[in-house]
Chains A and B, each alone.
Chain A
Amino acid sequence: GAVVSQHPSWVICKSGTSVKIECRSLDFQATTMFWYRQFPKQSLMLMATSNEGSKATYEQGVEKDKFLINHASLTLSTLTVTSAHPEDSSFYICSAIEGVTLGQFFGPGTRLTVL
């Protein structure tokens, strides 16, 4: 099946710093990628939809100036958490579509801890 990678797998940072998370589709081109966050024992919450070459579409309640998304190529999307605070600590997961009929394939997730 299609493979999606994320880097880093975990990160610990101080409050006020910015953190960049990369999402890559390794063996296919993804015109659309999605960013989710997940709190412990909860399901995934969609943050934004990222389309290659255009601005991301953010879900209601997600601050676009805080969570910067860039989808500059068909195999790479990045999520930057700017001026991170402890409440941003979460598990961030990306997914990519290899054509709608093949469903979505998810990355392994990035655990962010903000001290």
Chain B
Amino acid sequence: KQEVTQIPAALSVPEGENLVLNCSFTDSAIYNLQWFRQDPGKGLTSLLLIQSSQREQTSGRLNASLDKSSGRSTLYIAASQPGDSATYLCAVVWVNAGNMLTFGGGTRLMVKP
């Protein structure tokens, strides 16, 4: 069964820390992997999209890596800020699943000032 798992489910850190969010997936035959941010009661904001041929993508303080062989992706957030507090979702499009995204359960991040 194709599944996406995110650990930890919740994370609380002091402002300024660098942090890593983890995402694992059970089948390495992916088309792409996408990281999203969701604020309470809001829709999803796309943060980074990594194609299967890529190893990482960067946007500002965010860096996402992809290791297909081990079925893992990490989202690195540098110098965290209270405004980074949100739920972060990892989602995969598998090669045999058309364009359908399979989501992980998310990591709820709280950055304390």
Question: Which of B31, B41, B49 makes the CB contact (< 8 A) with A111?
Answer: B41
CB distance from B37 to the nearest CB of A (A): 10
Contact with B along A23-66 (1 / 0, CB 8 A): 00000000010100000001110100100000000000000000
Residue of A nearest to B36 (CB): A106
Interface residues of B in 10-69 (CB under 8 A from A): 31-32, 34, 36, 41-46, 49, 51
CB distance from B20 to the nearest CB of A (A): 20
Establish whether residues A32 and B99, one from each chain, have CB atoms under 8 Å apart when the complex forms.
yes
Interface of A is mostly: strand
Establish whether residues B42 and A104, one from each chain, have CB atoms under 8 Å apart when the complex forms.
no
Interface of B is mostly: strand
State the interface size on chain B (CB cutoff 8 A).
23
State the interface size on chain A (CB cutoff 8 A).
25
Selected interface stretch from A67-75, A79-87, A95-103: A95-103
Question: Which A residues have a C-beta under 8 Å from some C-beta of B?
Answer: 1, 4, 6, 32, 34, 42-44, 46, 49, 91, 93, 95, 97, 100-109, 111
Closest 4 pairs (CB-CB, A-B)? A106-B44, A108-B43, A103-B49, A109-B43
